[in-house]
Chains A and B, each alone.
Chain A
C-alpha cells in the first residue's frame, strides 16, 4: 500500500510533464489553429503512451535520473518537488524543462543528504539555456529559407500547402510525442520499478503485460491526462505568446526543433557518420522546451516580426527559476519528510580506504602523498570526504571522483534468481550474459571488484578505446553496468555514476 502512496508523486510528475512538455510538440500547431487542441491532445497522448510502453520500457530505460536518490521516500519527495516546480511554471503558462526540474530537485536532495553534486549536470543545464536556443534559431532560419525557396519553385495551391502543413505538423507532433514518452517515462516511473506493485497481467492468454509495462503504462496515462487537462495554457504561450506565427512558420519551428535534437543530440547519428568516415556534428546538451523558443525567436528576428520581449523575458526567468525552485522545494519537503513524517529520505553512504582500494588506485596510476592519511579510515559523509580529498591531496576533480567511487563500500551479491528474473537477455550480449552467469553466487564489497570480475570473464564487458565510433558502445556498456550495479546491490544503493 505504501508503494501506491509513493507512486502518486511519480504520477503527479508525469501529469506535470504532460501539461508542460506537450506544448513543445503541438504548441505551434494549436496556436496557429492548424490543429484543434482536442485532436492534438488525442494524437499526443496516443503517441506518448506508445513511446513509453514500446520504446521506453526496455531495461535500458529503467535508469531514470531519480536513480541517484537512494531511498524510496527520497525519490517520492524529489519527484514531488520537481512536479510542483513544473506545475507552478505551467500555471504561469511558462514552457520549462521537466528534466531540469528533476536535476534541480536532485541537487536539493544532494544538499540535504550531504551527497556530492556532479558539477557537470549543472553546467549542462546552463549551457542548454544559451546554446540550444541559438542552434535551433539558426536551424529554423535555414529551414525557413529552404521552405520559401521550395514554395517559390513548386508553387503549391494554397489549399494543398495548407494540407501539407497540417500533415507535417501532425506527423512531426506525433514523432515528438513518441520521443517525449520514450525519453521521459524513465524519469517518471523508472525509480519505482524495483518496488513495482504490479504482477504480470494476461488478457485471455493472448496478450501479456508485464508488471514493468503496466507501471510504465500507468505513468504514460498520467502524462496523457496532463496533456488533456492542462497543456492548453502553455500551448498558448508557445503558439502565440512570444510571437505571432503563420502556419508554415509553426511547421518550421517544430521541424527545426526535431532536426536540432536529431543532429546535435543523437549519438546514433554521430556513430553512423563516424563509422562511414563522415564528419560528425558536435553533441551539445539540448532541451525541447528551450529549442522551441529558440526557433520561434530566431524565425521572428529573421522575418522582422514583432517579438513580445516581456513574455520572452518571463520565459527565460522561468528556465532559470525552475531548477532552483525544484531544488528549494525538495530541500524543504525532505526536511518535513525526515523530521515530521519520520521517513528515511536518504541512506548514509560508506567509504573505506582498505588495502584493496589502495592497490587499485596504484594500478590506475592515482597516487598522492596526501592519500596516506585516509588509509584504513571509514567515512560516512560524501561531501566532507570530497572536501578532505581536495584539501589534503593534489588530485584533480576526475581523480577525486575515481577515488570516491573506488572507496565506496556496499554489498553486491550475484544472486542467480535475480539474474534470471531481472536481467533482460535481449539487452546484454551472449558473452556478457555468460560472464554474469559465471559470477553467480559471488559477493563483492566494492562495485569495481564486481566490474573487474566481469571484465576478466569477458572482453565484452571491457570499454573500447575512446573514439567517436566506440562512444556508443562504451555508453551502452555504462548503462548496462549501472543497471547491474543497481539490481545486484543488497541493502543501500550505490550513488549514481560509473
Chain B
C-alpha cells in the first residue's frame, strides 16, 4: 500500500527531525563551553555544525508539513502537529542565532562568570532534551507526554534562576557599563533556548489534552 509506505517515511522524518533538534541542543551547549574555554577552531566548528543541523531540521519539518497537507493526513491534529514542529524548530533556530552572536561579537567573558554561562547552557540543553522526549511521546504515547513536561518546566525555572543570579553578579562587578550590558544580553540569549523549550512544552500540554479519542 503506497500510502502506508509514505506514512512510514513521514514517521521516520518526524523522528529524524526530533533527533536533529536534540543534537542541535547538544551542539549548542558544546559551542558555549568551547567559546568560554577560548577554543576558537572548535567553536567555529560548532557554528558550522549547528548551521547544518538547523537547515536539516527546516528541511525535514517542511517535508513533513507538505506531506501532511498534500495527503490530508491527521485532519484533527494537523494544525497541532505543524505548530509543534514549527515551535520545536524555533529551539534550534534560537540556539544557532545565539552561537552566531558569540561568533560575531566575541564578548569577553571574565572567568568569574563562566560557571553561570555553563550552567545556563546546560539548563537550556536539558530543557530542549526533555521537550523532545515529550514531543516524540505526543506521536506515540500521548499519555506519557506530561511525564516529561514537568522536567521542561523544572529546567526552565532553573535557567531563570541561574540567569537572574548571573545578571546580578555581572551588574555587581566593576566592569564597564557597556560590557555589563553586553554580558547581560548574552545571558538573555543563552537563556532563550530554555524559554523556547518551555513554549513548546506549553503547547504540548494543550495538544495532548486534545489528542484524546
List residues of A whose CB falls within 8 A of some B CB.
Answer: 32-34, 36, 144, 147-148, 151-152, 155-160, 162-163, 246-249, 303
8 sampled A-B residue pairs with Cβ under 8 A:
A32-B76, A33-B76, A151-B213, A152-B143, A157-B140, A158-B140, A159-B73, A159-B74
Instruction: Find out whether the CB atom of A36 lies under 8 angstroms from the CB atom of B3.
Output: no
A150 nearest CB across to chain B (Å) = 11
Residues of chain B contacted by A159 (CB below 8 angstroms): 7, 10-11, 14, 73-74, 139
User: Which residue in B11, B81, B211 is a CB contact (below 8 Å) of A160?
Assistant: B11
CA distance A162 to B8 in the complex (A): 12
CA distance A151 to B74 in the complex (A): 16
**Contact flag A158-B81 (CB < 8 Å), given A33-B75, A247-B76:** yes
Q: Give the total of B residues in contact with A, Cβ under 8 Å.
A: 21
Residue of A nearest to B143 (CB): A152
A261 nearest CB across to chain B (Å) = 23
CA distance A158 to B74 in the complex (A): 8
Residue of B nearest to A36 (CB): B72
Residues of chain A contacted by B213 (CB below 8 angstroms): 144, 147-148, 151, 246, 248-249, 303
**Contact flag A158-B77 (CB < 8 Å), given A33-B72, A163-B4, A163-B7:** yes
CA distance A252 to B10 in the complex (A): 26
Residues of chain B contacted by A152 (CB below 8 angstroms): 143
**Contact flag A162-B11 (CB < 8 Å), given A151-B213, A152-B143, A157-B139:** no
B5 nearest CB across to chain A (Å) = 10
**Contact flag A162-B73 (CB < 8 Å), given A157-B11, A246-B213, A248-B213:** yes
Q: Does B155 sit at the interface, judged by CB under 8 A?
A: no
B125 nearest CB across to chain A (Å) = 27
**Contact flag A158-B72 (CB < 8 Å), given A163-B7, A248-B213:** no
Other A-B contacts than A33-B75, A158-B139, A159-B73, 8 sampled, CB-CB below 8 A, are A155-B141, A157-B140, A158-B138, A159-B11, A159-B74, A160-B11, A163-B4, A303-B213
CA distance A248 to B211 in the complex (A): 11
A128 nearest CB across to chain B (Å) = 29
Instruction: Find out whether the CB atom of A247 lies under 8 angstroms from the CB atom of B75.
Output: yes
CA distance A159 to B74 in the complex (A): 7
Residues of chain B contacted by A303 (CB below 8 angstroms): 213
CA distance A301 to B143 in the complex (A): 23
B72 nearest CB across to chain A (Å) = 7
Residues of chain B contacted by A247 (CB below 8 angstroms): 75-76
Residues of chain A contacted by B14 (CB below 8 angstroms): 159
User: Which residue in A147, A155, A157, A163 is a CB contact (below 8 Å) of B3?
Assistant: A163
CA distance A105 to B116 in the complex (A): 85
CA distance A36 to B72 in the complex (A): 9
A244 nearest CB across to chain B (Å) = 10
Residues of chain A contacted by B138 (CB below 8 angstroms): 158
A162 nearest CB across to chain B (Å) = 5
Instruction: Find out whether the CB atom of B7 lies under 8 angstroms from the CB atom of A32.
Output: no
A209 nearest CB across to chain B (Å) = 33
CA distance A44 to B77 in the complex (A): 26
Residues of chain A contacted by B10 (CB below 8 angstroms): 159
CA distance A126 to B163 in the complex (A): 72
Of the candidates A158, A159, A160, the one having the most CB atoms from chain B within 10 angstroms of its own CB is A159
B94-106 vs A, CB cutoff 8 Å, 1 = contact: the mask equals: 0000000000000
- Closest CB pairs A-B (n = 7): A33-B75, A158-B139, A155-B141, A248-B213, A162-B74, A159-B7, A163-B7
Residues of chain A contacted by B73 (CB below 8 angstroms): 159, 162
B29 nearest CB across to chain A (Å) = 30
Residues of chain A contacted by B11 (CB below 8 angstroms): 157, 159-160
Residues of chain A contacted by B7 (CB below 8 angstroms): 159-160, 162-163
